Chains A and B, each alone.
Chain A
């Protein structure tokens, strides 16, 4: 009995000892060294995952999406595991040539990149086959739903989602957003639990002043005109004359940012190209004359029957042979000789001063990068005939935005506005930056602007701009045909011209200012027959879209 009792005691003692050892160990692990072991566990099971928030969208003024982002996946293959891979199927899913896939698989690497940024349905197709050694990594894909629409303004991003041009470049840091950190816990089976994240999702976006429909109207018209004129390039800008907002900025040839792009195409010629403005510059001379010598308005000028010698080797010509012309008719028929005489009346200093006041020879202040300021030499470096020549738009260079801005100045009654392309910048639906209209300066008085407006109306009514006219609406505008300077021959080219038309409507209280530039049209190059009809085409579509002719009802034939 005693032996049994001792045996029981011994077993009990043994069990107690085992539990005591386990308990002691647990006590040591869970209480004494809790912090150390908790950290060890945390190191092994918890991971911090980084994810980049999707790049912010770019919208037009009506919140139509111009650029957006989504998650895509890049496909990799482990070459050793991928023997016997169905290359034909892979090529169907990815759109790659089978030979390209085979050559990638032959590379002496453990893992090869097959294709970047596959779309979700392409990924699903591949995943459904469960190929061994095929894995995916998440990336971002930038998508431009309207394809080439406003591509020069919106810009593009590179393969790594870095902005390369346009708004994408300008707002790169803002649109890229923040990288978000997640704390994830993994169990023995590899299942994940998200424990928390350090910041909330941020919805960042930029709203432009561009109106997609007006942009489409402009792009469609210049694309069509590109085929008929065989020009080197075409540009069209539409602006709100009162706020300076750019409603459309189109140039052709353009590019589709969803496809592979030639870097040369990225240049926005609407702001990056400088050229001689030709007769569209005559509003500056007219403004200077009317402000400084208003008595000239009632005078007639002899236009030398089409040929006028300014200096020994400098002879200027008019398109037609004109005799005596009034100020308004000189403007309507675009007489270079008449304007050379007006330049003489204005004088060097005032002409330079007014050109400068209208914003020529300096950047306009638009938010976009890559703007050329053009060239307006200081008076000190002008030759004896410079004043007369500049009066009708030669011997200086300008960019398209400067021209439309100067016409908007006439349209709004004499105020030079800063052109705007960005309307607002938002973060989590809160406006963090607003771009209010900026008045740069008053250039001319409202009375002078009104006189020039009437002269511009005459251009379209009976002058060089009749092909720009539309029945039922008063349009004010001006043609310009400028010879291009040949840097190689060091003289004006006989075959290269820039054909322009700038105008606004309805002329009394304009809704829009429109500029059309045709660079190096083949064959006919006169603005009256090349640029003016394009302006008319664009304007008639704008009228329908903006419903400008509310007062004059119209019916379709």
Chain B
């Protein structure tokens, strides 16, 4: 009778160990799966952000080029002359005052 009880207790102990291990494995497994899913999700996010960076870089470059085009010296000169009516001084427009003269 006593022996039977000990055998039953051992059985209970063993199944408890199995249960604990199963729980641990499930926890670790879930954690591993969660971590994989999250890292994949982050991968997608990084890819998407990289794509956005590239597209914004492209747009930025295009806008910079537009600015360069507008501020090209030929264009500026044309605007200065035609729109603002500015005139470059001719050599004859310049009066030289020698050093020491009043």
Contact = CB atoms under 8 A, between A and B. Distances in A.
Contacts, number: 86
Nearest to A68: B65
Interface string A224-251: 0000000000000000000000000000
A213 interface: yes
A194 interface: yes
B93 A145 contact: no
Interface residues of A, number: 38
Interface stretch (B2-10, B14-22, B30-38, B67-75): B67-75
Nearest to A471: B96
B94 interface: yes
B94 A472 contact: yes
A554 interface: yes
Contact of B97 (A68, A537, A540, A554): A554
B7 to A, nearest CB: 22
B47 A145 contact: no
B28 interface: no
B98 A119 contact: no
Contacts of B50: 194
B94 A557 contact: yes
Nearest to B58: A71
Interface string B32-65: 0000000010011011001000000011011001
Contact of B62 (A70, A220, A556): A70
A193 B45 CA distance: 9
A471 B91 contact: yes
Contact of A553 (B59, B69, B97): B97
A83 interface: no
Nearest to B71: A145
Contact of A70 (B46, B58, B99): B58
A145 B72 contact: yes
Interface string A524-557: 0000000000001100110010000101111111
Contact of B74 (A146, A536, A553, A556): A146
A192 B46 CA distance: 10
B96 A120 contact: no
Nearest to B63: A120
A553 B91 CA distance: 14
A91 interface: no
B1 interface: no
A43 B59 CA distance: 34
Contacts of B84: none
A65 B69 CA distance: 11
Contacts of A212: 73
A510 B96 CA distance: 19
Contact of A149 (B44, B74, B94): B74
Contacts of B44: 191, 193
A554 B74 contact: no
Interface string A117-156: 0011100000000000000000000010111110000000
A552 B98 contact: yes
Given A149-B73, A216-B73, A70 B61 contact: yes
B94 A65 contact: no
A470 interface: yes
B39 to A, nearest CB: 10
Contacts of B98: 472, 552
A120 B58 contact: yes
Interface string A202-220: 0000000000110010001
A549 B73 CA distance: 24
Contacts of A70: 58, 61-62, 65
A191 to B, nearest CB: 6
B91 A540 contact: yes
Given A120-B58, A194-B47, A147 B72 contact: yes
B73 to A, nearest CB: 5
Contacts of A149: 72-74
Given A68-B65, A120-B59, A193-B44, A147 B74 contact: yes
B89 A556 contact: yes
Contacts of A551: 99
Interface in A332-372: none
Nearest to B67: A145
Interface in B69-97: 69, 72-74, 77, 88-97
A65 to B, nearest CB: 6
Contacts of B90: 540
A554 to B, nearest CB: 5
A68 B61 CA distance: 10
A555 to B, nearest CB: 6
A260 to B, nearest CB: 18
B43 A554 contact: no
Contacts of A537: 91
B68 A145 contact: yes
11 contacts: A145-B65, A145-B68, A147-B74, A213-B73, A470-B91, A471-B91, A472-B94, A552-B99, A553-B99, A554-B95, A557-B94
The 8 closest A-B pairs by CB, nearest first: A472-B96, A145-B68, A193-B43, A540-B91, A216-B73, A70-B61, A557-B93, A554-B96
Given A191-B44, A552-B96, 13 more contacts: A70-B61, A119-B62, A120-B62, A143-B65, A145-B68, A146-B74, A149-B72, A149-B73, A193-B46, A194-B50, A472-B96, A536-B91, A556-B94
